[in-house]
Amino acid sequence: MTTSGHCVPDLDRQDRIGFAEVVYCPGKTDAQLREVCSALFAAHRNVLASRATPEQAAVIQALDPRVKYNAPGRMVYLHEDQTILGRGPIVVVSAGTTDIPVAEEAACTAEVMGNEVRRIYDVGVAGIHRVLNRRNELEAAEVVIVVAGMEGALPSVVGGLVSRPVIAVPTSVGYGAAFQGLAALLGMLNSCAPGVTVVNIDNGFGAAYAASRINRKRD
């Protein structure tokens, strides 16, 4: 299906890999958003559009009254099929409140992809007791997504506490030497906690997509 010769919605993606095409909003015109989102809404009960501004969210929401907007995570979503497809909960952890936008991108993505999601926010290593006090909740997860900026230490701490898969998300939060998330990325890639997997800077969406695949029940 083509729209104006530019947008070609991938309507078979859910059958191939388990979830519908996700719309990346930056750089798209209002007309392009209307066309591709209309096609996806007609074909699927659950749809995501990422990195949407409030103005872009309004354009998409005008297409269907069921569509919602997670403003902190900048996610526009249709979530009509709320079947839980995961084996257990995905726990999303943020080091600080400034990391919450990326954490919410991950949490919203995981929820719409059929997972029970639990949030543990503002438990960074500057107050290490905060995350230590939540150890039982972390261990109850099937997958843990840990979102952190600055030096990116929190995923290493969590990886040393729990037996579950840990997906680390570096954020662009931090002072000058943080280099817009590069310091956190390198710190996570060099984690001394074995088994910590790392996605790209600010990529809460990618972390949740990977966590959902790990967590998906087998038929």
Return d(Cα 182, Cα 200) in angstroms, integer: 9
Is CATH 3.40.50.1970 the right assignment for the domain spanning 90-215? yes
Helices (H) and strands (E) in the chain, counts: 9, 9
Element (H, E) at 68: strand 68-70
pLDDT tens, N- to C-terminus, the chain (219 residues) = 444 557 888 788 888 888 988 999 999 999 999 999 999 999 999 999 999 999 999 999 999 999 999 999 999 999 999 999 999 999 999 999 999 999 999 999 999 999 999 999 999 999 999 999 999 999 999 999 999 999 999 999 999 999 999 999 999 999 999 999 999 999 999 999 998 999 999 999 999 999 999 999 886
State residue 5's pLDDT score.
Answer: 54
Return the structure tokens found at 116: 């029970």
